[in-house]
Amino acid sequence: MATIRDVAQLAKVSTATVSRVINSNGYVNEGTIKRVKEAIEQLNYFPNDVARSLFKGRSKMIALFVPDITNPFFPELARAIEDVTNRHDYTFVLCNTDSDIHKTTNYLNALQQKSADGFIIVSGSLTEDHLKNIQAPIVALDRIISTDISSVTVNNRIGSRQAVNYLRSLGCRRIAHIAGPEHVDNAIYRMRGYLDEVKHEDWFDSSYVVSGAYHFETAREAAVHLLTNNPRIDGIFAGNDLMGTAVLNAAASLDIKVPEDLAVIGFDGISMGERVTPALTTMAQPIYDMGAEAAEILIKQIRTPSQKVMREAFKVKLIERQST
Amino acid sequence: MATIRDVAQLAKVSTATVSRVINSNGYVNEGTIKRVKEAIEQLNYFPNDVARSLFKGRSKMIALFVPDITNPFFPELARAIEDVTNRHDYTFVLCNTDSDIHKTTNYLNALQQKSADGFIIVSGSLTEDHLKNIQAPIVALDRIISTDISSVTVNNRIGSRQAVNYLRSLGCRRIAHIAGPEHVDNAIYRMRGYLDEVKHEDWFDSSYVVSGAYHFETAREAAVHLLTNNPRIDGIFAGNDLMGTAVLNAAASLDIKVPEDLAVIGFDGISMGERVTPALTTMAQPIYDMGAEAAEILIKQIRTPSQKVMREAFKVKLIERQST
């Protein structure tokens, strides 16, 4: 394999000049840059990034932690993050944590050993204490970890109130909620937003809230149960779109017509919601923008260690489709 | 930060012994191993993987190249691969190539610089020529690159014949096909399988095959066009499930009843197919097993450079659901 000396010899410059061209620092005139680049290409020379990261203590590697990439919300986030990390020449590492703290901390330690530059973490159960040995910057995405860690989220509670009010404006009188997992902050805020709106209604009791755990199957079963036991329900606010599509599925299996007999609204704005029949109305998060913003904040923090904690909360937006 | 010397001092052994424990090579007695591990834990010492990869010329990093992780087939593959790489202590890197050769080769070169240990590649357009400078092992997944590169695929042509014959067994007389991209080998084989079965039928002409490009929107538009122009079509074999759900969507928008007036079968077996209404019948690939197998083969090749090229072709399996 070619070395930096071979490149210098062929381009008729010093190795220091080759290094300046490779690292884009210090002045080198255009003609020399061209010659060095041609020599690099001709010799198929690769400056050794491993050696460079040993020297700098960095690997140009950013990791995303998600519970499970097969949940359709996460590929859309991952795509945005990878676009930004790639643009900035970072390698994008993906870890599925299964929301398991032990697995998560194992990943963190392993990646710290590999000098990962930073972490973007979607986790409902990680606390600051689990992160006390992690030196690299962290951005919490979709779910907050602590006030001392930068985060990118949405206005879950207000967005959920809007969802319930929208169902009401369509004439729904008894609105139920399929909630996400109890240990996930955004699920809690979405449930609170729902409760803010309905808890003083005379028809309301706790049987109108069931857990769907952000899983399709769990939510489908919960919805079947809910609709069978409470036939007067005429609107459902699902805590995410995956559970919203599960409600549509449950309604079809019970021969309940959507939107005529039941209006359904989800939360997230994933592509799947547009693709099912009837298409799912939703409070859409700007998923791509959120992922991209999390990556941009992380890269800022990597480059400027003095960068202060940033907390971005995007707004959700009603997208009306056939399910309402 | 603690060093190897600190660990050796606390455990009352030499640094060479600590190194043997960390790298699990050479004999060290049980009691000493325990002492060293306790010292490592107490000092929160991380053996520097970057230094180790510089020494060994390896990074313990495996990369998966997919066209776009937001296509719902790929998260299921990615999940399987990440499970296996994680079990073997490899870091999992994800690259979205957008099926762009220039972007793909940039990723390959960048990861080679970072001493990536191996690549799993889903690509319809990459040739052996693009890979001639890549020293690390490669496994082609879902699509073949060349006979000299290991691959994990399915019996696309036979599976497609089975799909068409199944529609026929249900009484379908005019069966159309929504095809994938022309540059992707599995799409070509699936179309050939379809043609094997129908090309000699008296009703058949080329208007029964339209391109859906493995994209939802393209396939939906193609299906609307197809069903409007050929009202006698009573069966559709879609080249993948994403396009199959697009056909269901198109049929609903045209008030065509599935399965009464139109039977629809897809190919892949992604979760989304079970979740739409009506649920999509499909020729299911063992997606998880394929991803896991690709990762296992790659790791074998990394560990044993003399390992010969392996070509695994899994069988697809009919899963009957509501769309037929």
Structural contact between residues B265 and B284, judged by C-beta atoms closer than 8 angstroms: no
Arithmetic mean of pLDDT, A159-179: 98
Chain A: residue nearest B74 by CA?
A70
Q: Which pLDDT does position B136 carry in this prediction?
A: 93
Provide φ and ψ at A171, rounded to 5°. 105, 5
Question: Chain B interface, mutation test: which of A37, A49, A60, A61, most B Cβ atoms within 10 Å?
Answer: A49
Which of the two residues, B219 and B58, has the higher pLDDT score?
B219
- Which chain B residues touch A61 with a CB distance below 8 Å? 91, 114
Nearest CA distance, A269 vs chain B (angstrom): 13
Same domain, A131 and A280: no
Residue B182 reports pLDDT greater than 80: yes
For residue B323, being part of any structural domain is answered with no
Please give the biggest Cα pair distance in chain A.
86
Question: Chain B interface, mutation test: which of A85, A114, A256, most B Cβ atoms within 10 Å?
Answer: A114
Q: What is the pLDDT of residues B91-135, one digit of tens each?
A: 999 999 999 999 999 999 999 888 899 999 999 889 999 998 898
Structural contact between residues A284 and A319, judged by C-beta atoms closer than 8 angstroms: yes
Q: Which pLDDT does position B64 carry in this prediction?
A: 98
Asked if the ipTM is above 0.95, the reply is: no
Strand order in the sheet with B235-238: B209-211, B175-179, B235-238, B263-268, B281-284, B317-319
Other Cβ atoms less than 10 A from the Cβ of B307: the count is 14
Which of the two residues, A36 and A300, has the higher pLDDT score?
A300
The residue type found at B259 is P
Q: What is the pLDDT of residues A264-297, one digit of tens each?
A: 999 999 999 999 999 999 999 999 999 999 999 9
- If pLDDT is split at 50, 70 and 90, which confidence band does B57 have? low
Which residues, at least 6 apart from B251, have a Cβ–Cβ distance to it below 8 Å?
B223, B227, B257, B258, B262, B264
Same domain, B148 and B297: yes
For residue A54, being part of any structural domain is answered with no
Residue B52 reports pLDDT greater than 60: no
The distance of Cα B61 from the centroid of its chain, to the nearest Å, equals 18
Would you call A54 and B49 a contact, using CB atoms and an 8 Å cutoff? Answer: no
Mean pLDDT (chain B) is 92
Percent of the residues in chain B that have a pLDDT greater than 70, as a whole number:
95
Structural contact between residues B197 and B165, judged by C-beta atoms closer than 8 angstroms: yes
Would you call B70 and A79 a contact, using CB atoms and an 8 Å cutoff? Answer: yes
The CATH number covering residue A261 comes to 3.40.50.2300
Structural contact between residues B301 and B151, judged by C-beta atoms closer than 8 angstroms: no
Same domain, B217 and B280: yes
Say how many Å lie between the first and final Cα of chain A, rounded. Answer: 63
Nearest CA distance, A200 vs chain B (angstrom): 35
For residue B321, being part of any structural domain is answered with no
- If pLDDT is split at 50, 70 and 90, which confidence band does A1 have? low
CA–CA gap between residue A203 and residue A12 (Å, rounded) = 85
Which residue among B47, B65, B80 closes a domain? B47
Nearest CA distance, A274 vs chain B (angstrom): 10
Q: Which pLDDT does position B300 carry in this prediction?
A: 95
Q: Give B66's strand partners.
A: B96
For residue B131, being part of any structural domain is answered with yes
Domain count, chain A: 3
Q: Positive or negative CA dihedral for A200, A202, A207, A211?
A: negative
Q: Positive or negative CA dihedral for B123, B128, B129, B131?
A: positive
Of A133, A252, A271, the CB nearest to B277: A252
Which of the two residues, A8 and B305, has the higher pLDDT score?
A8
- Which chain A residues touch B223 with a CB distance below 8 Å? none
Of A49, A78, A115, the CB nearest to B94: A78
Same domain, B135 and B277: no
Same domain, B273 and B296: no
Which residues, at least 6 apart from A79, have a Cβ–Cβ distance to it below 8 Å?
A288, A291, B68, B69, B70, B96
Structural contact between residues B294 and A235, judged by C-beta atoms closer than 8 angstroms: no
Residue numbers of the domain that contains A9? 4-47
Helices marked H in chain A — which ranges?
4-11, 15-23, 30-43, 49-56, 73-87, 101-113, 156-169, 185-198, 216-229, 241-253, 272-275, 287-303
CA–CA gap between residue A217 and residue A176 (Å, rounded) = 18
- If pLDDT is split at 50, 70 and 90, which confidence band does B55 have? very low
Same domain, B229 and B198: yes
Strand order in the sheet with A91-96: A311-314, A150-154, A138-141, A118-121, A61-66, A91-96, B91-96, B61-66, B118-121, B138-141, B150-154, B311-314
Arithmetic mean of pLDDT, B252-275: 97
Same domain, A36 and A73: no
Which of the two residues, B59 and A99, has the higher pLDDT score?
A99
Would you call B46 and A79 a contact, using CB atoms and an 8 Å cutoff? Answer: no
Same domain, B174 and B256: yes
Which whole-number Å values give the CA distances from B2 to A208, B17, B311, in the listed order? Answer: 55, 17, 46
The distance of Cα A311 from the centroid of its chain, to the nearest Å, equals 15
For residue A104, being part of any structural domain is answered with yes
CA–CA gap between residue A257 and residue A195 (Å, rounded) = 26
Q: What is the pLDDT of residues B265-307, one digit of tens each?
A: 999 999 999 999 999 999 999 999 999 999 999 999 999 888 8
For residue B322, being part of any structural domain is answered with no
Chain A: residue nearest B56 by CA?
A50
Q: What is the pLDDT of residues A41-67, one digit of tens each?
A: 788 776 655 555 544 556 789 999 999
Size of interface A-B (CB pairs under 8 A): 143
Q: Which pLDDT does position A58 carry in this prediction?
A: 66
Chain A: residue nearest B253 by CA?
A277
Q: Cis link prior to A137 (omega < 30° from 0)?
A: no
Could you tell me which of A212, A217, A228 has the C-alpha nearest to residue A267? A212
Of A54, A60, A69, the CB nearest to B51: A54
CA–CA gap between residue B69 and residue A217 (Å, rounded) = 23
Q: What is the pLDDT of residues A122-137, one digit of tens each?
A: 998 899 999 988 989 9
Same domain, A9 and A72: no
Strand order in the sheet with A317-319: A209-211, A175-179, A235-238, A263-268, A281-284, A317-319
For residue B319, being part of any structural domain is answered with no
Would you call A114 and B78 a contact, using CB atoms and an 8 Å cutoff? Answer: no
The CATH number covering residue B20 comes to 1.10.260.40
- The pTM for the full model equals 0.84
Instruction: Give ∠ CA B86-B87-B89 in degrees, rounded to 5.
Output: 60
CA–CA gap between residue B67 and residue B98 (Å, rounded) = 4
Nearest CA distance, A217 vs chain B (angstrom): 9
Look at the block and give the residue holding tokens 């490899």. B90
Chain A: residue nearest B114 by CA?
A49
Which residues, at least 6 apart from B107, have a Cβ–Cβ distance to it below 8 Å?
A86, B63, B65, B95, B97
CA–CA gap between residue A257 and residue A31 (Å, rounded) = 71
CA–CA gap between residue A280 and residue A263 (Å, rounded) = 10
Same domain, B131 and B172: no
CA–CA gap between residue B80 and residue B74 (Å, rounded) = 10
CA–CA gap between residue A262 and residue A237 (Å, rounded) = 11
β B317-319/B281-284 pair status:
antiparallel
Residue B317 reports pLDDT greater than 80: yes
Same domain, A105 and A20: no
CA–CA gap between residue A96 and residue A107 (Å, rounded) = 9
Range from A176-180, A217-221, B55-59 carrying the lowest mean pLDDT:
B55-59
CA–CA gap between residue B206 and residue B198 (Å, rounded) = 11
Would you call A272 and B46 a contact, using CB atoms and an 8 Å cutoff? Answer: no
Provide φ and ψ at A239, rounded to 5°. -65, -20
Nearest CA distance, B221 vs chain A (angstrom): 13
Which residues, at least 6 apart from B58, have a Cβ–Cβ distance to it below 8 Å?
B115, B117
Same domain, A43 and A89: no
For residue A73, being part of any structural domain is answered with yes
Q: What is the pLDDT of residues A71-102, one digit of tens each?
A: 999 999 999 999 999 999 999 999 999 999 99
Provide φ and ψ at A221, rounded to 5°. -65, -40
CA–CA gap between residue A232 and residue A249 (Å, rounded) = 18
